[in-house]
Each structure stands twice: as structure tokens, then as C-alpha cells.
Structure 1
Amino acid sequence: MKFSRIAAAVTTAALAPAVLIASPAFADGPGAPDAGHQPATTTPDQSVPDQAEEDRKTILAIIAHPMASEYMKEAGHKAIADGPKAMRKFIEVDQHKIRLDDYRIAISRLTADAGPGLKEGINKLLSSRHDIDMLRHFYEVTQYELRDDDNRIEISRLIGTGGPAVKEAGKKALKGTPADRTQFLKTGRFLAQASDDRVELSRIDESWDGPILSEAIGKLLNGSPTPAELRHFLEVTQYELRDQDNRVAIAKIIDGGGPELVKAGRAALAGTPADRTEFLKTGQHEARAKDQAAKDKAAKDKPAPGKDGQDQGNGSGTGTGAAATGNTATTAQGHTGAPLATTGASDNTTLIAGGAGTALVAGAGLLLAARMRRAGAQR
């Protein structure tokens, strides 16, 4: 009996909802829509929201790319803010136009540190018809091939002009990878050059006599100079110090020198470093030669001194009538044949002296005649 009641209750409970739903009274109950105005059953359309979200993610990936310019980023954020249609237009049209311009700008900027080969490749690409794929390939592949060609040429040039260390390191880089060549030109060449510069500075120190330059070289090499400091010393500082040593040397040379040497030395001191180098090389010797020539000419033109006790005239005398240096000696023959000296004052003096001698001879003759007459008378 109990089992029958339970079965009936279960059956009633199962049929009750179906009856109530089918009942006109329930269907037309208060608050129900009028017949013919029942809402249509719809399935929510998820396609538009899903597409918009996908476009938003796509745009975010585009503007996050390393090649994305500020203009690309700005346009992408604006499209997201403007909604689904703007995002779709950005993805399908705008991004490609902007990307084309971005590659053109990026490739143009490569010329700043490009070698001849890369510059030529850039100009050829941008001056011809091109699309985004050509630009992308040039930027991602071709530029590096052209750079390596330029690097090979530059390394070969350095090998031809460099010292032993540069030559060795450069040849090794040429046999290596493109990265090895880039690294050599970036840092390796300077380290190798520093080694060669140290050798060159030591050679200069050994061959230079000036104290100023030698002292500076010793101080530099005993320190910890950078490659740039060594190069600057060789290219600039050494010549400044050479000129200081040259100035000191010229000042010593002209101290107590002849007129021409002093003149040339002072002109060199007032001139350029090249003038001072030339003076020390040849100018000083030319000036010394001029001074010596002037001395020789002065000695040749100086009159020779006279010799005491020698007659400088046309005659020669051995008695007391010899004249002094520079005077003219004249021999006047008297009755006895003794010479009569003259001082060379004038010809009148000679005539007077001759007349006086004649008078003396005549007087002596008269005296002799008078004595002979007295003697005859006495006889």
C-alpha cells in the first residue's frame, strides 16, 4: 500500500510542469506579451567583438616591432582609440604605407657611417622602383654584405700603410668572419697601432738630440698612455717639442757668432717651425760660410806693415841719408860723391841743398887760389 502511494506522487510531480506550460491560463497570464508580439529567439553574435580584439592585438604587435617609428606608433594608438573600423583600415592600408616610409628613412640614415660601396648601393636602391620587400631585404641582408666589402677594402689599405703590428692583425681579420673585420676596425686596429706607436717613439728618442722631446717621450712611455694619447703625441705633440728644442739650439749657435750667422739665426727664430728646421739643416752653414768669406776678404785688403831700416824709394842708401817708411829717398851727388838726403818735403828743398853745395865748392876753390898767389909772392 505504501509503495503504490509513492509511485502516484512521483507520476504527478513529473506531469505537472507540462500541464502548466500548456495551459492557456498560464500562457495568457498577467505580464505576458500579446499574441503575435513574442520576442524572437536570438543567438548572441560574438564575431565583431572577437575581430576587434584580434585587430587590437595585431596593432600592438606592429607598433612594438623594433623598426616601428614614432609615427607608426602614434598612428597605431590612434587607430585603437578610434574603434574597429579604424583598426581594420590601419592593418590593411595605413601600416604598409608608413612602413615603406620608415624603411626609406632608416636606409637613408645608413649613409652616415657607410663606406663607398654601401653608399652606392643605397643611392641605387632609393633612386629606382622598389617595394616593401626590396627595402626590407636591403635593410636586413644587403647592407651587411656591402659593409663587409667596404671593411675588406679599408683593412687592406691599413695593412699597406701600417706598421708590423697593424699588418699582422689586419691580415688575420681578412681571413676571419665579417664580425672579425668589424671588430678589427672598431678596436683592434687601434690596439695594434698603439704597439707600433710605442716602437716609433722609442726610435725617435734614440735619434733625437734635444732634451725637451726626449724627456717627454720617456715620461709618456713610462706611464700608461691610451692608444689615442700615443697617436696624438706622434701626430701633434712631438712636432711642438721638436720646435722648442730647435729654438734652444739656434740660440746657442748664434751666441757669439758672426754677423751673417746672427742675422740668419734671428730670422729663423722669428719665422715658422719649418724656417728653424731649415736653418739648422743648411742655413747655419751658409751663414758661417759668408762670415768666413768676409774675414778672408778683410785680411787680403789690409795693407802690409813696413820693415824698419829698409828704403821704400827707387834708390837705396847705406849712409845716414836713408829715409823712413813711406817717404821718398833722393841721392844728390856732391863733389865728393857723398849722397845728400832729402825728407821729400818738396823739389825746392833739393834745389836749395844743391845750390848750397855748389857755393861751398866754389868758395873752397877761391881759398885755394889765394893761398897759391901768396906762396908765389913770397918766393
Structure 2
Amino acid sequence: MKLNRVSAAVAAAVIAPAVLLSAPAFAADGNKASAASAPDEASEAQKGDAQTSAGKGNAQMGDGSKDSASSSKNASDEDNRFAILKIINKSKPGSRVYEAAQEAMNGSAEDRVRFLKEGYELAQFADDMLRTVQISSIGGKAVRKAALEALRKDTHEALRQFLDVGQYVARDEDNRVEIARILHTAKRGSVLFDAAQEALDGSPEDRTRFLESGQHAARVTDDRIHALRILSAGGPHVREAATKALRSGNAEDVRRFLDVGQYEARKLDEAEHAKDKNNKDSKGDEKAKGGRESKGGKATDDAKQKQDGAMDAKKSNGTTDAKPAVATSSTGSSDAQLAATGASSATPWAIGGTAAALAAGAGLVIASRRRTASEH
């Protein structure tokens, strides 16, 4: 394992100076160095054995190297602590790396060595796998596909490749698809349409920026333009509602006016328009009725005037509509005269003769019909 090779190289680099300094000239100090490197306090007998071993020279070089390695082991534990502290500071609380590092710091020197050699990598692998799964759950189609491929390989290198590079390439592919969908639904010539086209032709950062904030700003601008157009062509209530929404400076108010408010205001305008029309129609009917009544009254007056004129004409001719009155002469004669008509006393006789002639003619017709019937 590469991590094991690196740790061995580091250990060799630390041990080398100690081996070089364990020459016979420093044999007298071997007793002191051996006592300081032991994890526990040594007994007097052990100290004597250490002095004897240190005085044997090159033949006992292995024992001196072992003591020097013990000394460097204590020195490297401080370095291990410092390295683990750095890992804790840059790790996210609650992650597997953070918890494993805390356990190593609270454990023994061997625990810290074990964490740096293999524990850190295993914990990082677990965190990377969890992060890949989380990204896949909220990503688009391309991101999910790339994450699934990395998880199937089940190697730390595949996960790191996805997290460092692959997820961003796949995300830009998903962003292109989403922007193309917005472009298809947007009205040509609108602010949203132009902004989407510009982002699609730009860089991956431009596409990300458009989806995160640019599209929302473009929609707000388009909504305000639409509200202004409705205001310019609407009735009193529509204009009032549009002005109120635009002056609020709140994008939600403008959106609500476009979705609901304009239709409510338009109904009020239509209701008032219908009411005014009915009032005008009723006034027109009353005016026409008054005209007909005045015309009828004028006709009655004209007829009355004509009748009065006829009566005046009759009076001027010496006639009236009154019934004939019988007047007696001054001599008491019984002959009657028709008053104010101009008819003489022979008129009744003429009428009687006419009636008799009509009766005789009718009799002759009846007799002729009977004669004809008998012949047949």
C-alpha cells in the first residue's frame, strides 16, 4: 500500500540521525538516552544492562538503534498529534473523518499512528461515498448517471474523480438541458428568452449563474413589462390594480396581479360597463315614450282643432248638429217645419215612396223564383 511505504520512508528518515550518532564517542551517553526513551521508568538493573549493551560498540549496534528508534517514536507522536489536529480543523463536524480523528487523539500513540496510516483513508472513503450518494439524490439525469458509475466501481479513486471533476461536467450537461427547456417555453423577444440564449452560448459558470439567479431576475422584468401593457389597455379598476402592484416593488405582487388580480379587476370593469349600458337604454326608452306621448297629445289637439273648425263652418252655413225643433206659427197651424236643416215637409213622403218601391221589387223577385221552381 502506498500509504504504508510513505510511513516507512518517514520513519527511516527520522531514525537515520539516531543511528549515525550512536558511535563509540557517544557511548558514555547511551545510558542517559536509553532511560529517556523508555515508555515506563526503568529499574536499576535495567539501567546497568543498558550501559553494558551500549559499551559493546559496533557488535551491539542493533541494540543502540532500537533505543534510538524508541526516542524518535516519542518525538514523532507529537508530530502525529499536530497532523491529526490539522485534519480535525478542516473536517466537517459529524463526518466519519472528524469522529475517527477525535478517537485517535483521545487514544494511544499506536492509535494515532494507525489512524494516519490507514484509518484516515478509510474514513475519507466513507465520507466520499456518502457525499456521492447525496449529490446523486439531488442531481440531474447526467449527475445521477456519473455518480452511479463511480459507486459501482467501489474504489476511492473513482469517487474522488467524480467529486473533483465528474460531477461538474455532468452538472453542466444537466444545466444545458434545463436552459434549453426554458428557452423553448419562453416567449421569443422576452428578457427571459434573451438571457437563456446568452447563458446557453456562454461558459459553465454562466449557465450555473443563470439557473441560480439570472432566470428569476429576467422573469421579474418580463412580468413588469406585461403588467404595464395591461395597465395601458385596461379599464379603471384594471389600471388601479396594476398601478398598485407595480408601485409596491414586490415581484410577488406583480405576479399575483398577472395570475389573479387582473381578472378580478376586469370583472368589476365589465359589471360597471353593463350597468351604465342598462341605464342608457332605460333613459332612451323613457325619452322615446315621452316623444310618443307628446306626439299623441299633439294629434289629439289637431283633431280637436279640426272638429272645432268644422263646427264653426256649420254655424257659418246656418246649420247645426242639434235635433230639429218643431215651431208653431203665430196662427196656431198644425203644419210642422224642420228647424235649421233646410228640409221641407215633403221629405217624409219621398222616403215612404222609396220604401214601397223596394218592397214591391222584392215581392216580384220572390214570385219569379217560385214560378221557376214549380216549372222544374
When the two structures are superposed, what TM-score results if normalisation uses the length of structure 1? 0.56
Which segment drifts farther, 115-124 or 247-256? 115-124
User: How much does 1:124 deviate?
Assistant: 4.5
**Following TM superposition, where does structure 1 have runs of at least 4 consecutive aligned residues deviating by more than 6 angstroms?**
50-53
**Residue of 187, 191, 204 corresponding to 1:212:** 191
**Partner Cα distance (2:228, 2:199) in 1:** 27
User: How much does 1:156 deviate?
Assistant: 1.9
Deviations 1:208-229 (A, max 9, x none): 1152121122223234x02x32
User: How much does 1:103 deviate?
Assistant: 4.2
Kept after mapping to 2: 8 A contact 1:211/1:245: yes
**Partner Cα distance (1:51, 1:222) in 2:** 78
User: How much does 1:123 deviate?
Assistant: 4.0
Kept after mapping to 2: 8 A contact 1:115/1:150: no
User: How much does 1:258 deviate?
Assistant: 0.8
Task: Give aligned pairs, total.
Answer: 250
Distance 1:287-1:89 versus aligned 2 partners, 3 A rule: same
Distance 1:290-1:212 versus aligned 2 partners, 3 A rule: same
The two structures, once aligned, show a CA RMSD in angstroms of 4.0
Kept after mapping to 2: 8 A contact 1:108/1:122: yes
Distance 1:174-1:92 versus aligned 2 partners, 3 A rule: closer
**Residue of 283, 293, 296 corresponding to 2:271:** 293
**Partner Cα distance (2:70, 2:144) in 1:** 55
**Residue of 136, 148, 162 corresponding to 2:139:** 162
| Residue number in structure 2 paired with 1:91 | 71
| Residue number in structure 2 paired with 1:116 | 95
**Percent identity (aligned):** 24
Distance 1:103-1:157 versus aligned 2 partners, 3 A rule: closer
Q: Which residue identity is paired with 2:210?
A: F
| Residue number in structure 2 paired with 1:180 | 158
Listed as ranges, the gaps of 5+ residues in structure 2 are 1-22, 31-67, 309-321, 334-376
* Residue 311 of structure 1 pairs with residue 289 of structure 2: no
Kept after mapping to 1: 8 A contact 2:146/2:167: yes
Q: SS where residue 299 of structure 2 aligns?
A: coil
Q: SS where residue 292 of structure 2 aligns?
A: coil
Kept after mapping to 1: 8 A contact 2:150/2:158: yes
Structure number having the greater helix percentage: 2
Distance 1:213-1:115 versus aligned 2 partners, 3 A rule: farther
Q: Which residue identity is paired with 1:205?
A: L
**Residue of 224, 241, 245 corresponding to 1:268:** 245
| Residue number in structure 2 paired with 1:325 | none
Q: Which residue identity is paired with 2:129?
A: R
Q: Which residue identity is paired with 1:198?
A: R
User: How much does 1:297 deviate?
Assistant: 2.3
**Residue of 57, 62, 85 corresponding to 1:105:** 85
User: How much does 1:242 deviate?
Assistant: 1.3
Deviations 1:268-309 (A, max 9, x none): 222312222222222222221121122122223444222164
Deviations 1:35-84 (A, max 9, x none): xxxxxxxxxxx61247989xxxxxxxxxxxxxxxxxxxxxxxxxxxxxxx
Which residues of 2 match residues 220-231 of structure 1 at below 5 A? Answer: 220-223=199-202, 225-226=203-204, 228-231=205-208
Kept after mapping to 2: 8 A contact 1:107/1:139: no
Distance 1:287-1:120 versus aligned 2 partners, 3 A rule: farther
User: How much does 1:157 deviate?
Assistant: 2.4
**Residue of 272, 280, 296 corresponding to 2:258:** 280
| Residue number in structure 2 paired with 1:140 | 117
**Partner Cα distance (1:167, 1:92) in 2:** 49
Q: Which structure would you say has the larger RCO, counting Cα contacts within 8 Å and 6 or more residues apart?
A: 2
Distance 1:258-1:309 versus aligned 2 partners, 3 A rule: closer
Q: SS where residue 233 of structure 2 aligns?
A: coil
Distance 1:115-1:285 versus aligned 2 partners, 3 A rule: same
**Partner Cα distance (2:136, 2:219) in 1:** 29
User: How much does 1:136 deviate?
Assistant: 1.9
* Residue 244 of structure 1 pairs with residue 221 of structure 2: yes
Distance 1:90-1:156 versus aligned 2 partners, 3 A rule: closer
Distance 1:135-1:198 versus aligned 2 partners, 3 A rule: same
**Partner Cα distance (2:263, 2:211) in 1:** 29
Q: Which residue identity is paired with 1:214?
A: F
Kept after mapping to 2: 8 A contact 1:201/1:217: yes
Q: Which residue identity is paired with 2:79?
A: R
**Partner Cα distance (2:143, 2:156) in 1:** 18
Distance 1:319-1:103 versus aligned 2 partners, 3 A rule: closer
**Partner Cα distance (1:97, 1:179) in 2:** 29
Q: Which residue identity is paired with 1:201?
A: I
| Residue number in structure 2 paired with 1:194 | 172
Distance 1:49-1:115 versus aligned 2 partners, 3 A rule: same
User: How much does 1:205 deviate?
Assistant: 0.7
**Partner Cα distance (2:276, 2:100) in 1:** 78
Distance 1:93-1:151 versus aligned 2 partners, 3 A rule: closer
**Partner Cα distance (2:181, 2:171) in 1:** 15
Distance 1:237-1:260 versus aligned 2 partners, 3 A rule: same
Distance 1:94-1:298 versus aligned 2 partners, 3 A rule: same
